[in-house]
């Protein structure tokens, strides 16, 4: 039985590692996050948790070997399976031996814990198995390399069975040298090309566009984008495709006619090298959501020679690997090698209407544009007006002279209405309420030491000059992250759960107080700090119930997106929750929080109450734009089981209610009050 389980685990690990992709860097080893120090949404950046639902994946700040965090896997209850923290290194290196070293600590492990590494495709594999209770100990795995055949290096920590494992301070060496000091083969191939003239820009200047040049640019956009994902030699990373665009643009723009233009295209494509055609037409046995539209190849007015050449590329033998885009576990695209501006890019990002899409990180140009100084005042758009709803610092907030419920009308003598209209194009989001949400945190930023505000209080216009502070002088919280107590009884019959601070491990205890109540309010106006979606639904639902479908892309047929089968939440449960379930949502409900709302809402007595959510469900795919700008998109499509979309739409409430300015002044939560009213009528 043990050998059978080992084979199952290794098979699952192999399957997971074969499709999971992460973002990497070649600067220093720490940047690979092998020490688990960089964290996003409560998870170590670049790492993926996989395995059974009976395992808890966490970052431990108490038990560590080095730095702030160690990664932990803990068996909770039920049938033992396995849990794994996994990482894929896609860069390839010249060398003979690759070594993974790291520290592991175990507690009451029944079965085994292991540190493992594999070279794909099926070149080498090894793991070190550990059982029982052990203190921090350094382990090493060394494998013989074959760089010419390697696609990636997979590593991870596994708990197979019961107990708990901690892993920390991992390092990777090639022939004894830290990979942070080495240049990857893939990146070196691009770096050594003879098109370094474009390192500082395209050098392209377009003084005037006529009808012919616009048509030529349109054709170039179609063909350049098509080749990027369809041509096998580009997929292998042989070309810096952005630089190739810069090279080909001038002759295409200057072509005298379509015949000359198409001849330039034909020579360009032929110069990319030969490739093998697929032996058979690729077919797919799944429901298609989006099919690639390539009719323009035949109907675009191109020469027969160019159309024929493009059709040959369409029929090329593609391996399922592409230098510019790969798919992670669950079909989430990773744009790892999209290459190297700010307000124009921000406006462009905004046009895709995706709340996940923005300029990420500490962009200094954007920081200076918005302002490095902050007023210590929390604003929220209530009734479409910026209202004071709190202060980042109590003392500094009182010093401003503003009060909760004050409505701002002008900032630095500019009307708020005008500021909102000007800022809309620079505020990417899926819908207007979410644009206002994000705008509220930026209105009171400046590069000055003070900011002038005009506001209405008790129907009277007042003015004040407010002192501003740097982000080091005041603590500006992330509003959708909450630390409130996750559970309380509002009265003897109504229970309240804050989904943003709820931990899976709390549920068995608090459920004893919830199970016989008349109603349960789940406050989802936040972002979950854990992932209680399945655990809570196991208590709520009378049976396994479909709640979501995902769409995923396909490397072999670029542009094809298919819908997977509906996924269930809950399980057969005769002791399921019989009361009313009210899920509270608003514009703070985003991404994972939206998925949680979808799951909870399939309870037979559930209602969603509040206002439309952020409309950015699904995982983020991060990539880079020219100029060192980091951005992202929603990487997968999220749909209801009947095919209805959530992206850009959000989770639409069954009962719509929003806070009022009067309610803010009185310190009331009118959304919770509505939920209580509904439960009492039930």
Higher pLDDT, residue 11 or 469: 469
Percent of the chain's residues with pLDDT above 70:
89
Range of the domain at 266: 211-324
Whether 583 and 540 share a structural domain: yes
Whether 436 and 394 share a structural domain: yes
CA distance 615 to 304: 44
Residue 520 pLDDT = 98
**Phi/psi at 159 (5° precision):** -115, 110
Mean pLDDT of 344-367: 90
Whether 150 and 218 share a structural domain: no
**Is the Cβ–Cβ distance between 272 and 239 less than 8 Å?**
yes
Q: Within its chain, how far is the Cα of 485 from the centroid?
A: 27
CA distance 90 to 181: 16
CA distance 312 to 413: 62
CA distance 629 to 627: 6
Residue 6 pLDDT = 46
Whether 455 and 504 share a structural domain: no
**Weakest-pLDDT range from 7-21, 518-532, 534-548, 565-579:** 7-21
Whether 421 is in a domain gets the answer yes
CA distance 581 to 496: 10
Whether 527 and 559 share a structural domain: yes
Mean pLDDT of 577-581: 97
pLDDT in tens, 27-50: 334 457 899 988 876 788 888 887
Whether 167 and 218 share a structural domain: no
Whether 431 is in a domain gets the answer yes
CATH number for the domain including 381?
Answer: 2.30.42.10
Whether 142 and 31 share a structural domain: yes
**Band of residue 627 on the pLDDT scale cut at 50, 70, 90:** low
Mean pLDDT of 145-163: 86
CA distance 354 to 615: 7
Whether 638 and 523 share a structural domain: yes
Residue 204, pLDDT > 50, answer yes
| Mean pLDDT taken over the chain | 87
Residue 200 pLDDT = 61
Whether 248 and 169 share a structural domain: no
Whether 42 and 157 share a structural domain: yes
Alpha helices (H) in 162-273, listed in sequence order: 185-191, 211-230, 232-235, 241-253, 258-270
Domain boundary among 137, 167, 184: 184
Domain boundary among 283, 307, 324: 324
Residue 512 CA: distances (Å) to CA of 160, 268, 516: 31, 70, 8
Domain boundary among 324, 339, 363: 324
**Band of residue 65 on the pLDDT scale cut at 50, 70, 90:** very high
pLDDT in tens, 220-241: 999 999 999 999 988 887 788 8
Name, in order, each residue with C-beta under 8 angstroms of 324's C-beta and a sequence gap of 6 or more: 228, 229, 234, 235, 241, 335, 336, 337, 338
For 363-424, strand residue ranges (E) read: 373-374, 377-382, 385-391, 407-411, 414-415
Residue 279 CA: distances (Å) to CA of 57, 226, 256, 312, 314: 44, 21, 39, 12, 13
Whether 233 is in a domain gets the answer yes
* Coil, strand or helix at 187: helix
CATH number for the domain including 636?
Answer: 3.90.226.10
Whether 550 and 436 share a structural domain: no
Whether 192 is in a domain gets the answer no
Provide the domain count of the chain.
Answer: 4
Whether 346 is in a domain gets the answer no
For the whole model, what pTM was predicted?
Answer: 0.64
Number of Cβ within a 10 Å radius of residue 575: 8
Closest to 302 measured CA to CA, from 262, 248, 257, 267: 262
Whether 198 is in a domain gets the answer no
Whether 648 is in a domain gets the answer yes
Whether 412 is in a domain gets the answer yes
Whether 172 and 25 share a structural domain: yes
Residue 157 pLDDT = 93
Residue 527, pLDDT > 50, answer yes
């Amino acid at each position: 039985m043990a050998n059978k389980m080992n084979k199952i685990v290794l098979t699952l690990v192999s399957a997971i590692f074969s499709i999971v992709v992460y973002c990497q860097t070649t600067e220093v080893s720490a940047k690979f996050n092998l020490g688990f120090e960089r964290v996003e949404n409560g998870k170590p950046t670049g790492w993926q948790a996989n395995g059974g639902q009976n395992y808890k994946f966490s970052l431990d700040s108490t038990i560590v070997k080095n730095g702030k965090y160690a990664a932990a896997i803990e068996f909770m209850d039920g049938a033992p399976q396995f849990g794994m923290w996994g990482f894929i290194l896609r860069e390839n290196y010249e060398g003979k031996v690759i070594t993974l070293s790291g520290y592991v600590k175990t507690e009451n492990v029944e079965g085994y814990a292991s540190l493992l590494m594999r070279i794909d495709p099926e070149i080498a594999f090894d793991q070190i198995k550990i059982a029982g209770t052990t203190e921090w100990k350094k382990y090493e795995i060394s494998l013989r390399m074959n760089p010419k055949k390697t696609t990636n290096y997979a590593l991870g920590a596994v708990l197979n069975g019961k107990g708990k494992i901690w892993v920390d301070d991992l390092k990777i060496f090639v022939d004894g040298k830290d990979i942070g000091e080495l240049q990857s083969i893939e990146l070196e191939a691009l770096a050594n090309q003879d098109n370094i003239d474009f390192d500082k820009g395209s050098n392209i200047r377009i003084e005037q566009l006529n009808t012919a040049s616009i048509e030529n640019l349109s054709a170039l956009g179609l063909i350049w984008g098509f080749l990027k994902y369809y041509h096998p030699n580009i997929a292998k990373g042989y070309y810096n495709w952005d630089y190739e665009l810069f090279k080909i643009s001038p002759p295409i723009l200057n072509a005298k006619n379509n015949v000359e233009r198409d001849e330039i295209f034909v020579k360009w494509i032929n110069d990319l090298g030969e490739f093998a055609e697929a032996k058979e037409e690729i077919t797919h046995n799944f429901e298609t959501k989006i099919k690639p539209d390539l009719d323009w190849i035949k109907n675009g007015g191109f020469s027969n020679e160019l159309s024929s050449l493009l059709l040959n590329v369409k029929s090329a033998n593609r391996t399922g690997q592409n230098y510019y885009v790969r798919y992670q576990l669950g079909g989430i695209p990773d744009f790892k090698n999209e290459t190297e501006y700010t307000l124009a890019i921000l406006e462009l990002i905004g046009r895709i209407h995706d709340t996940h899409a923005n300029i990420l990180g500490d962009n200094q140009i954007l920081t200076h544009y918005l302002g490095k100084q902050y007023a210590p005042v929390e604003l929220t758009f209530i009734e479409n007006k910026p209202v004071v709803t709190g202060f980042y610092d109590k003392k500094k907030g009182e010093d401003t002279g503003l009060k909760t419920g004050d409505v701002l009308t002008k900032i630095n003598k500019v009307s708020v209405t005008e500021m909102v209209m000007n800022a809309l194009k620079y505020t990417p989001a899926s819908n207007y309420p979410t644009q206002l949400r994000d705008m509220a945190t930026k209105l009171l930023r400046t590069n000055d030491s003070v900011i002038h505000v005009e506001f209405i209080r008790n129907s009277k216009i007042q003015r004040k000059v407010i002192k501003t502070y740097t982000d080091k002088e005041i603590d500006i919280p992330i509003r959708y992250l909450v630390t409130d107590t996750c559970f309380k009884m509002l009265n003897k019959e109504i229970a309240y759960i804050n989904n943003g601070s709820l931990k899976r491990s709390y549920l068995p205890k608090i459920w004893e107080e919830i199970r016989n109540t008349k109603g349960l309010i789940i406050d989802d106006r936040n972002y979950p700090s854990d992932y209680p979606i399945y655990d809570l639904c196991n208590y709520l639902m009378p049976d396994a119930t479909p709640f979501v479908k995902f769409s995923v892309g396909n490397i072999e047929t670029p542009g094809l997106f298919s819908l997977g089968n509906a996924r269930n939440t809950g399980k057969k449960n005769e002791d399921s929750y019989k009361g009313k379930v009210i899920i509270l949502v608003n514009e703070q409900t985003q991404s994972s929080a939206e998925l949680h709302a979808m799951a909870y809402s399939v309870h037979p007595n559930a209602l969603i109450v509040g206002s439309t959510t952020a409309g950015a469900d699904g995982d983020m795919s991060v990539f880079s734009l020219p100029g060192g700008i980091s951005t992202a998109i929603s990487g997968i499509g999220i749909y209801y089981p009947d095919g209805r979309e959530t992206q850009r739409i959000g989770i639409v409430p069954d009962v719509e209610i929003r806070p009022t300015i009067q309610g803010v002044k009185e310190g009331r939560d009118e959304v919770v009050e509505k939920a209580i009213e509904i439960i009492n009528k039930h």
